[in-house]
Amino acid sequence: MGKFVVKETATGIKFDLKATNGQIIANSEVYNSEAACLNGIESVKKNAPVAAVENQTVEGYAEEKHPKFEIYLDKAGEYRFRLKATNGQIIATGEGYKTLASCENGVESVKKNAPEAEVVKE
């Protein structure tokens, strides 16, 4: 089972979502309070399993409604995803992937792990 790891940074508090194997599959922005961070986690748990996937790397892609995972290419040419809540805010982002298939696997891993993931503090 995956887990949300909550940790303090120099500027606030954030979370990483880790898969069963311990790899980070998504992370959050830096929040200014633990309560806000925990709300972000709840939003990911609720939205990830039902979010559509919008692949912005293909020409003429279909625009999906929120909540959704947006797959896009970054400046370095790597595939990335971001999860947007029903209000359109980004609630989690993924790392850079060399291939679209790897990025899609990352999205599926978030969808699978987030709903039941326990929350731990570091």
CA angle (111, 115, 117) in 5-degree steps: 110
Summarised one tens digit per residue, pLDDT across range 71-114 is: 999 999 999 999 999 999 999 999 999 999 999 999 999 999 99
Q: What is the pLDDT of residues 43-65, one digit of tens each?
A: 999 999 999 999 999 999 999 99
What is the pLDDT averaged over residues 27-40? 97
Q: Check pLDDT > 90 for residue 1.
A: no
| Residue for token pair 């978030």 | 110
Instruction: For tokens 């899609």, name the residue.
Output: 104
Which CATH architecture fits 3-121? Answer: Roll (2.30)
